[in-house]
Amino acid sequence: MASIQWARWGRGGDRAVDCLPEHVKPAPAETPEVDEVTNLFGRIVAADAPSGTVSFASRIRPENLVFFDAKPKLLRSIALAPLAPPHPGCKAFYRQILESGAGPAKNLRGYKVYRASRERGENAPWLYSSQPIFDERGEAKPGDTTQNKTVDLLPEGVLGHLTIALRGLTPRELAMVLQACAVPWRLGGGKPLGLGLCKTEIVRLCDELGQSVDVVNLQWETQVEDLQPRVELWKATQTPVAKLRYPRAVAQNKNKISHGGHVWYSRHAGMRKTSDGPATNEFQRLYLGDAARKKASGHSELPAQPLPSFDPNSPEADVLFGYDCIVVTDQKQRNLQTVINQIKIFDPTKHLTGHEASGGNTSQNRQTRQAGRLESRGESPPPPAQTPAAPSLPHVGQTVECVLSNEQTKKGGWKAKHEPTGKVGAIQNTKDVPPDKKAGEKITLIVATATSHDVQFRYATPEELKRSQKPPPKSPSHKPLRR
């Protein structure tokens, strides 16, 4: 953030520092002035900082957050939906919208907020089966990809405990800490998918002698009355909604089906283009033909869908439309307008032709030029070299033979190599490995986790072998979600 004045935002090349609203611009890191939050958490400044700028320690020191009896309750090997990266070029989502609604303003919207969902079971938004990655046929790819992760999740209802040590706080600063502990928290790495919503409760407040302090009698709320609008807004944003999804839609051409967020953005939130090619600063509208007008109450046009402003009085009002829809028939006109006659929810059984495939590389390269020369001489090109298929990963719970590796974990534990795939991973219960085992020896292990990024094992003790032979728990369906 120190060099934010040099950063550029989006394709227009605007300076990020000119687009940020004042209330979200970062405070200067190396000035004598200190805001009240930094004053609580401390800071470290460079040796060449201006005179009067000092480093100081935090007066808030949290201990580890511990969840009780959580390990046996973990939901094991859950394939998460991919976490989509930000797309700052999408002005309809990242820029403030003009009052007319016709186009984006220059400034960015401000704070980013993670929402939560009421969906559970196979429709939960964090599951890969709900929001997968699609192939050229518009169908979901297998859950183990390089773009998503397989993790263990804490189930709902698990209780955790956190102790925070405070030192030398003013009544206002103590009130800020108590207020932060009286609102919902979001923890963990899956927040964009709706995970990590936690209810907080202050169990006990005590002084430096360990004597309990009555939180109610402190009347701390009066110290932070100025923060209440922001507090209430935050609480409203954490109200679980009925359906939480990344936008996505479907487009079809001669070669393949495109199924994902980029299709939705270009159809429903794109910028209008001119006959010369470059986009204007206005949103592209949807133009409807006769059949589509009947379903749109006679309207011949539909406006674009910029991200609606959040309404704390109606947390579910920011709904977007066109999810998983495919344009079945359209007609292009001279003025670059595409008139949509029919748009339907994508159904692979109805909309696939059977000829979908990636168009492949059509540009000239060494192979195509050589094939052309052989063809001109009436010779046949040699058959393409057959690449042997890569060995598949072992599945969780499978018993495998591995070789103990010379490489160790950071804590000095054993690692082992699965020779068919070349994967090296840690042995989780490394203390159960017999002490007479040496690097290079073969050993029987049980696969604990297996993804394209990571594989881990457990030493096959009798107890582990019994556990691995139990039938696995039912996992969520990996069929594509249909609406």
The distance of Cα 300 from the centroid of its chain, to the nearest Å, equals: 36
Residues 6+ apart with CB under 8 A from 32: 50, 52, 53
372-382 pLDDT, tens digit each: 677 667 777 67
**Number of CB atoms found within 10 A of residue 115's CB:** 21
Q: Where are the alpha helices (DSSP H) in 124-208?
A: 171-180
Nearest in space to 467 (alpha carbons), one of 68, 72, 70: 72
Q: Where are the alpha helices (DSSP H) in 134-214?
A: 171-180
Residue ranges for the chain with pLDDT beneath 70: 1-13, 22-32, 275-279, 332-336, 354-365, 368, 372, 375-376, 381, 384-390, 470-483
- CA separation, residue 483 to residues 91, 129, 261, 313, 324 (Å): 28, 13, 16, 28, 8
Tokens of 89: 């070029």
pLDDT in the model for residue 470: 64
pLDDT in the model for residue 156: 93
**All CATH 2.40.50.140 domain ranges in the chain, comma separated:** 399-468
Tell which phi-psi region holds residue 324, choosing left (phi > 0), alpha (psi between -120 and 50) or beta: left
Beta strand 104-108 with 14-15 is unpaired
Contact yes or no for 123/334 (Cβ under 8 A): no
Query: Among the CATH numbers 2.40.50.140, 1.20.1370.20, 3.40.50.20, 2.160.10.10, which is that of 399-468?
Result: 2.40.50.140
pLDDT in the model for residue 116: 94
In angstroms, rounded to a whole number, what is the distance separating the alpha carbons of residues 454 and 426?
9
pLDDT in the model for residue 377: 72
In angstroms, rounded to a whole number, what is the distance separating the alpha carbons of residues 122 and 127?
7
- CA separation, residue 138 to residues 172, 175, 206, 349 (Å): 56, 53, 58, 11
Phi and psi (nearest 5°) for 264?
-65, -45
Residues 6+ apart with CB under 8 A from 320: 247, 268, 305, 307, 308
Up-side HSE of residue 259: CA atoms within 13 Å toward CB?
A: 25
403-438 pLDDT, tens digit each: 999 888 888 899 999 998 888 999 999 999 999 999
- CA separation, residue 146 to residues 132, 262, 393 (Å): 12, 19, 14
pLDDT in the model for residue 279: 65
Tokens of 377: 């001489």
